[in-house]
Chains A and B, each alone.
Chain A
């Protein structure tokens, strides 16, 4: 295997609030390989969106960040603002949950594309227009609609436009933050198909941030599970879904309600306050297997089988 495209190493992100520092991310280390789709899953407040923002360098001011984020060998956290701006869009692109937050209602789709392209590349308007046209058509949108305004499109179309815009500069990494959450089941399925096709068509890595395990199972190659700001498990989708090693992952998978669900499962308790998280393993107050060592010692991320890592003292028990 070639080296990773994106390497996040020992990343800490602490938000400053009036009650103290919120430890949104604590020592995240993960790699994203070329052309792979990595799913980042977890529940509200686990830090998954923070991770996406940190990689893009769009964290709010007065946030403490430490650790390294390397994209193709370039250390992103050391970049100056202007340099980061050039990388954003060009090398890393982002797709939001709600496309309308990114689209300006007063600009046509064409204007959006031209602005996006010209802010990164020195090309003529006509060239930009041509590329915009190609990108739209590749997403299944008729080129005659390029002069339309965002509100003239349906939710699914807008998300396609966002994807087309993200792809027009041929980034090497695409970050999608809950890209289908606001869409209906059928449209969601259609967009997931688009992601499937992308993997085949473009040589691009996709970081898919979502709370929906079904989505992960359908499109991802590998999956990383976050809990309370920490990476608790990472491995191939098959490994994690069939043999979850961390009790939190097990609970999360069990609590999914799907068509074959016969009985309801849930995880007792609620996620900790990230200003003063519990000592040791963050999950221990809710863990049914917790032992004294879980309170005393932080479990490191260990490789239990090739490519399958978990941060649990008793990971081998579940192998």
Chain B
């Protein structure tokens, strides 16, 4: 090997360029064989499958979810009706596919709104500290201490039914979660030397908050997002189950499950099992995604702050 080649090798560590996000992606791809990596990728597949199902429901569902077949109702699964029909004679397979939509919409609205509210408030609270911070923490903690479903039920009672209203009810539950994570992370990043260095450079609070702190804190958000989304689906289903969610006859897992349970005793297992299985797969899938992500990302976060 020539000297020049050797020289190049000594400089090799400089050749790779990677931001935190790049390194996270690297890690996710590299760790696909580890337990956390496998969980993450299973979660990704489930999550995107459900998004696909939700978007493509009109195309792949064999029937209109609300049309009633005049054959005797409560048919067990057949080739015509893959998951059977319900007590009103509607095709359960089609209803389950369409039901994905409302779940996705509710989760999207709830999580995005919770993020939009919780993140900046947490950032602000953690950065300014003092009495404002203590007050906000008190408010958020009291909301957090409330049982989630109960709180959502109360909000839903006030707002009424419908996808958007349930989304808002769910937002109320998860704002404190985003707030807490953001605030705590902000407090630890605020103490970092590079933040003090930025102050010494003459940066004002806004610049410090956005250019130096927000990005660091944002890294922890995907984990919170996926973990709270899994929870949100259950809550949404729970609300529908309690009759506070969507209006009949809209196709919705929780609502259908609730309607179907009284026929379980008569042996019509299919009408409750299939929506239930969907809820489980979707919840577990997103939870996998979140857990895997947090397992892989956390050492990375730790390493970056070491």
Instruction: Establish whether A and B are touching in the complex (CB under 8 Å).
Output: yes
* B196 CB-CB contact with A under 8 Å: no
* B13 CB-CB contact with A under 8 Å: yes
**Is the Cβ of A295 less than 8 Å from the Cβ of B1?**
yes
Please, how many residues of chain B have a CB less than 8 angstroms from a CB on the other chain? Answer: 12
**Is the Cβ of A279 less than 8 Å from the Cβ of B1?**
yes
Candidates A18, A270, A271, A285; contact of B6 at CB < 8 Å? A285
**Measured CA separation A206–B2 after assembly (Å):** 41
**Measured CA separation A272–B8 after assembly (Å):** 10
**Is the Cβ of A278 less than 8 Å from the Cβ of B6?**
yes
Chain A contact patch, size range: 10 to 19
Question: Which B residues touch A284, using CB under 8 A?
Answer: 3, 6
**Is the Cβ of B1 less than 8 Å from the Cβ of A278?**
yes
**Is the Cβ of B30 less than 8 Å from the Cβ of A285?**
no
**Once A and B bind, how many residue pairs between them come within 8 Å at the CB atom?**
33
Most buried by A among B1, B6, B12, B13: B6
**Is the Cβ of A18 less than 8 Å from the Cβ of B10?**
no
**Is the Cβ of B1 less than 8 Å from the Cβ of A272?**
no
A8-34 residues at the B interface, CB under 8 angstroms: 18
Q: A285-B3, A295-B1, A295-B3 are in contact. Are A276 and B9 (CB under 8 A)?
A: yes
Q: A18-B26, A18-B30, A295-B1 are in contact. Are A276 and B7 (CB under 8 A)?
A: no
**Measured CA separation A277–B3 after assembly (Å):** 12
Question: Which A residues touch B12, using CB under 8 A?
Answer: 273, 275-276
Question: Which A residues touch B1, using CB under 8 A?
Answer: 278-279, 295
Residue in B closest to A276 when the chains form the complex, CB atoms: B9
**Measured CA separation A93–B12 after assembly (Å):** 37
B1-31 residues at the A interface, CB under 8 angstroms: 1-3, 6-7, 9-10, 12-13, 26-27, 30
Interface 0/1 of A259-271, CB less than 8 Å to B: 0000000000111
Candidates B6, B10, B30; contact of A295 at CB < 8 Å? B6
**Is the Cβ of A273 less than 8 Å from the Cβ of B10?**
yes
**Measured CA separation A98–B147 after assembly (Å):** 44
Interface 0/1 of B30-52, CB less than 8 Å to A: 10000000000000000000000
Residue in A closest to B1 when the chains form the complex, CB atoms: A279
Q: How close is A17's CB to chain B, nearest CB, in angstroms?
A: 10
Question: Which B residues touch A277, using CB under 8 A?
Answer: 9
Residue in B closest to A285 when the chains form the complex, CB atoms: B6
**Measured CA separation A260–B195 after assembly (Å):** 38
Question: Which A residues touch B7, using CB under 8 A?
Answer: 285
Q: A278-B1, A285-B3, A295-B3 are in contact. Are A270 and B10 (CB under 8 A)?
A: yes
Question: Which A residues touch B10, using CB under 8 A?
Answer: 269-273, 278, 285
Known: A18-B27, A295-B6. 6 other contacts (CB 8 A): A269-B10, A273-B12, A277-B9, A279-B1, A285-B3, A285-B10
- 30 A-B residue pairs with Cβ-Cβ distance under 8 Å, sorted by A, are A18-B26, A18-B27, A18-B30, A269-B10, A270-B10, A271-B10, A272-B10, A273-B9, A273-B10, A273-B12, A275-B12, A276-B9, A276-B12, A277-B9, A278-B1, A278-B6, A278-B9, A278-B10, A279-B1, A279-B6, A284-B3, A285-B3, A285-B6, A285-B7, A285-B10, A290-B3, A295-B1, A295-B2, A295-B3, A295-B6
